[in-house]
Amino acid sequence: MTRIAYRRPEDMTPQARELTLERGNLNVYRTLANAGKVFTGWMLAGRAALTSPVLPFRLREIVILRTAHLMGCPYELGQHNDVARTAGLGKQEINAITSESDWQTVGFNPVELAVLQLTTELLTTRNVSAAVFDQVHKALGSEATVEVLMVINRYSGLALMLNALDVDLDDTARLPTIPQ
Amino acid sequence: MSDDSFAAAHGIFGDEAFTELLMLISCYYGLALVLNAADLDVDAGAWFQP
C-alpha cells in the first residue's frame, strides 16, 4: 500500500500531466509527481532513455529486468515482466534473468550474456572488472555502453524510490511504447 | 525502509520534499554506479558549480 498519496493528473503542470499520461498514467509517475519541481526533468530524461534507438528494445528490457531483480523491486518486476514479452523475450528467458544464475545457461547470445554479466557485477559489487567492461565496450561501442550504464543507473535508482514508497503495482496498466 | 524510518522522515519533510529527497538518492546512487563502471578520472581543477 503506497505510503504517500498519488497526484491526480489534473493537479499537475500541463507538461508533467502530458508526460504522465503518455506513459500510461502509472502509479509510479503519479507518486513521483509529488516532487513537482524536479518531476518534469526526471520524466524528460526517462523519455530520452526509453525512446533512444541506440539500444535494441530487447537488450534494454534484459538490463531492466536484471536490475529490477537484483534491486529486489516488485513494482519494476511486475511492470517489466509484461513489457519484456512485447520486446520478444520468452517466459523461460524472463525466468532466467530473474534467477540467480540460470541466465548463464538459457541460451542468450554472447552480447546479451556480456551485458547481463556487467549488470550483475555492477549491482552486486558496485563496480565492474576491466575484463567485463571491455567485453561489453568492444561489442557495443561507447555510445551503447554508456546507454546500458544509464539504464542501470535509472532503474536501480528508481527501484530505491519505489521500494521506499511501497508503490502499488498497477492492476492492468503497463508502460506503453513511447513514440520517438 | 522501515515504517518507523519512513514516518520520521515523512513527518519532517512532507510529501513533496520527501519525494525530492528520494530523487536525490536515486540520482546519485545510479550516477555512482556509472562513474565506478566507467572509472573516469576526477577533474584536476574543475568543480561542479551549483
On the question of pLDDT at A3 being above 80, the answer is yes
A6: DSSP letter:
P
Nearest to A38 among B23, B37, B38 (CB): B23
Contacting residues of B for A165, CB less than 8 Å apart: 19, 22
CA distance B42 to chain A (A): 17
User: Under an 8 A CB cutoff, do B6 and A127 touch?
Assistant: no
Rounded to whole angstroms, the Cα distance separating A146 from A94 reads: 24
Question: Largest Cα–Cα distance of chain B, in whole Å?
Answer: 43
User: Under an 8 A CB cutoff, do B30 and A156 touch?
Assistant: yes
Question: Which residues, at least 6 apart from A149, have a Cβ–Cβ distance to it below 8 Å?
Answer: A122, B33, B34, B37, B38
Query: CA of B30: which chain A residue's CA is closest?
Result: A153
**What is A57-165's CATH number?**
1.20.1290.10
Q: Which phi and psi angles does A36 have, rounded to 5°?
A: -60, -30
Q: Which phi and psi angles does A2 have, rounded to 5°?
A: -55, 145
Contacting residues of B for A126, CB less than 8 Å apart: 32-33, 36
Q: What percent of chain A has pLDDT over 90?
A: 95
pTM attached to this predicted model: 0.96
| Residue pointed to by grid coordinates 515482466 | A81
User: Under an 8 A CB cutoff, do B16 and A123 touch?
Assistant: no
User: What is the per-residue pLDDT for B48?
Assistant: 85
Q: How confident is the model at residue A102 (pLDDT cuts 50, 70, 90)?
A: very high
Q: Which residues of chain B have pLDDT under 50?
A: none
How large is the average pLDDT for residues A138-167?
98
